[in-house]
Amino acid sequence: MALHERLRRLDDYRELSGFKTEPAQMRAAGPGKIGELRLGFTRRGDRSVLSDLYRVAPLLVQQALYWDEAMPELPICAIISVGGGILQGDRYTIDISVGEGACAQVTSQGANRIHQMDANYASQHQEVVVGADAYLEYLPDVTIPYRDSRFINDTDLIVDESATVIYGEMMMTGRKHHHASERFGLDLLSMSVNVRRPDGRRLFTEKVLIEKGNNTGDFAAVMRGFDAFANIMCLTPPETAERIKARMDTNWPDENPRAISGVSALPNGAGLMLRAVGIESYDVRREVRRFWKVVREEARGRTLPEEFLWR
């Protein structure tokens, strides 16, 4: 899909109808506000390589690194935002492809900060294509929406039936330690994922939509008492999904839980979904790593290395 078609597709979303005013500083989608990133991974011999790289600031990937001692054939790429966060009028596109039999891990350098806005909105469109018997870990760091921010992220996952993908989004309710008004102080946070097979068969769509003035997010059965949440999906063959689910117990402590999490089946035999809520981002990240570890062990026969001390 051409860049202008992607931008128009997002601009037509209903929830953006009230955020079409132009910023006073620089027009939306103007020069320097369109970030593009393309990553392509292929298998060569006993390991996979980053064989295709295209980048337009403020999105940047420097090179693939191989620091995972538990899976030394795995190229790891960190997405860097040289703009210091997402601003009003920004438009990002990210394309990731993993060829047949290849593997890759894509993450982000740090938290994704959505800055305060007084006009327009910011958007990101992602297309991820994963071939036969391929394996992808795409787990960006937490998204932090500032007060009055408007952000929409639309992701298309095209995954072969024999491949395994772990993809997800970790989010905060706002800058909770900055000011009380930051918690659910955003104007709009819209995160959707559309999953289909290479032949075009649609499996499901998952969408999180939080709008200012809708207090259902703070209901007792949703986010009351918690400020971080994660939706992590594992797209994998049914037999692998069964083994993963058998090892994932629901985490629901009786008293004063730091985090609550559980795993459920995705539609059409697509795989599994982990949903987690926590008091802080690191509480949710702990639940994500627990799921991630089991996915890698069952899908690839490898485990996760110890988490870095600074995480």
pLDDT at 175 exceeding the cut of 70 = yes
Cα 58 to Cα 15: distance, rounded to the nearest angstrom: 26
**What DSSP string runs through 233-254?**
EEE--HHHHHHHHHH---B--S
State the pLDDT at residue 27.
Answer: 85
Cα 89 to Cα 141: distance, rounded to the nearest angstrom: 22
Task: Quick: pLDDT tens for 52-80.
Answer: 999 999 999 999 999 999 999 999 999 99
16-33 exposure pattern, b = at least 16 Cβ within 10 A, e = fewer: beebeeebeeeebbeeeb
Q: Tell me the pLDDT of the chain averaged across its residues.
A: 92
Cα 83 to Cα 293: distance, rounded to the nearest angstrom: 32
Cα 136 to Cα 291: distance, rounded to the nearest angstrom: 15
pLDDT band at 134 (very low <50, low <70, confident <90, very high): very high
pLDDT at 257 exceeding the cut of 60 = yes
The answer to whether the CB of 236 falls within 8 A of the CB of 291 is: no
pLDDT band at 135 (very low <50, low <70, confident <90, very high): very high
Distance of alpha carbon 66 from the chain centroid: 22
Q: Work out whether strand 143-145 and strand 112-114 pair parallel, antiparallel, or are unpaired.
A: parallel
Cα 94 to Cα 113: distance, rounded to the nearest angstrom: 17
Task: Quick: pLDDT tens for 198-226.
Answer: 999 999 999 999 998 887 777 766 788 89
pTM (two decimals): 0.94
Cα 159 to Cα 200: distance, rounded to the nearest angstrom: 10
Task: Quick: pLDDT tens for 282-305.
Answer: 999 999 999 999 999 999 999 999
For residue 299, give the 3-state DSSP assignment. Answer: helix
